[in-house]
């Protein structure tokens, strides 16, 4: 595990570095507080730190305050090294953001025990962050396909539309429906239907760019948000999606199954933030309905913009 030692005394710094290396730490050293704060603020920087109280440019308490002021999920466990003995000084250091303190000169056994405590705290912190992210994911993603759920994809669409309004760019939508999905369930069974939903989801993700968004809109419907895609590019992109699904049958536990999509497509430009997105979605849905009525496995583009809604 990486650990930072910040101390302007070269002898003390060298002794501490050797001790911690023997304990198995990957040691990074600095000799002033400004450097220490920068190292601890770097992405992937040490999350465990021993910081001398008295240092040039920025003292140990100042380093703690600066690190704690970051808007960052990666918690850093900081111990102040101090020769100060008064309780007021200790309280001052803890209030600045230090997690613990050690009185110099440090006893090796005590140092090792305090660092072990710090590592336990960081492990607990990581578990809490992991649990929080898992809860956040479950709250916004579909359990079967792991795509954004309806609420999640609509929230992303709102965000992309706000961005497009500021930057005067385009957002295009593909509302996709798996053709004859009820028949797939009836013939092969619902477990195969679930396999098809999962495999279509994975293939859709590979057919769009990393900054595009794919969500399960409901049942066998998917909503694809194509960021920065104008009407001319929409036709090419939509055809790539349609062909990418229909060109290669899907392998399932019951054998290969041919799958196709009907798609309703629309481009949104000059979006007015005072206008709801529902009219655009209704236009895409109406286009999807026409694609199904015309024989399925095809794309129908919304006939007119809906700026007047």
Catalytic-residue membership of 57: no
Q: For domain 2-138, is the CATH number 2.30.130.30?
A: no
2-138 and 150-301: same fold?
no
Asked if CATH classification 3.30.565.10 holds for the domain at 150-301, the reply, yes or no, is no
Catalytic-role residue among 160, 195, 220, 221:
220
Mean pLDDT per block of 10 residues along the chain (309 residues) reads 92 89 93 91 90 89 90 84 73 87 85 92 91 91 96 95 91 97 96 97 96 96 96 95 97 96 94 84 96 97 59
Domain ranges within the chain, ordered by starting residue: 2-138, 150-301
pLDDT confidence of residue 271: 81
**Residue 92 pLDDT:** 82
Cα 132 to Cα 289: distance, rounded to the nearest angstrom: 40
Query: Structure pTM?
Result: 0.72
d(CA 60, CA 99): 12
Given this model, what pLDDT does residue 309 score? 39
């Amino acid at each position: 595990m990486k650990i930072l030692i910040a101390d302007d005394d070269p002898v003390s710094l060298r002794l501490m570095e050797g001790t911690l290396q023997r304990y198995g730490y990957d040691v990074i050293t600095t000799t002033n507080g400004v450097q220490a704060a920068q190292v601890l603020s770097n992405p992937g920087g040490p999350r465990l730190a021993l910081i001398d109280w008295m240092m040039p440019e920025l003292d140990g308490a100042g380093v703690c305050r600066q690190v704690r002021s970051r808007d960052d999920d990666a918690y850093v466990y900081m111990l102040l090294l101090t020769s100060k003995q008064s309780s007021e000084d200790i309280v001052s250091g803890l209030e600045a953001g230090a997690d613990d303190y050690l009185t110099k000169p440090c006893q090796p056994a005590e140092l090792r025990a305090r660092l072990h405590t710090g590592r336990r705290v960081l492990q607990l912190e990581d578990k809490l962050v992991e649990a929080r992210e898992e809860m956040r994911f479950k709250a916004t993603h579909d359990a079967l396909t792991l795509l954004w759920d309806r609420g999640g994809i609509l929230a992303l669409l709102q965000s992309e539309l706000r961005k497009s309004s500021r930057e005067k760019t385009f957002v295009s939508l593909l509302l996709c429906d798996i053709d004859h999905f009820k028949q797939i369930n009836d013939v092969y069974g619902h477990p195969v239907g679930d396999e098809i939903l999962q495999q279509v989801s994975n293939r859709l993700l590979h057919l769009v760019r990393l900054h595009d968004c794919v969500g399960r809109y409901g049942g066998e419907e998917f909503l694809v948000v194509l960021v920065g895609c104008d009407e001319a590019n929409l036709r090419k992109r939509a055809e790539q999606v349609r062909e990418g699904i229909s060109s290669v049958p899907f392998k399932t536990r019951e054998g290969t199954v041919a799958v196709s999509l009907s798609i309703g497509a629309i481009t949104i430009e000059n979006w007015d933030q005072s206008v709801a997105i529902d009219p655009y979605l209704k236009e895409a849905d109406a286009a999807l309905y026409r694609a199904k009525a015309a024989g399925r496995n095809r794309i129908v583009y919304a006939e007119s913009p809906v700026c007047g809604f």
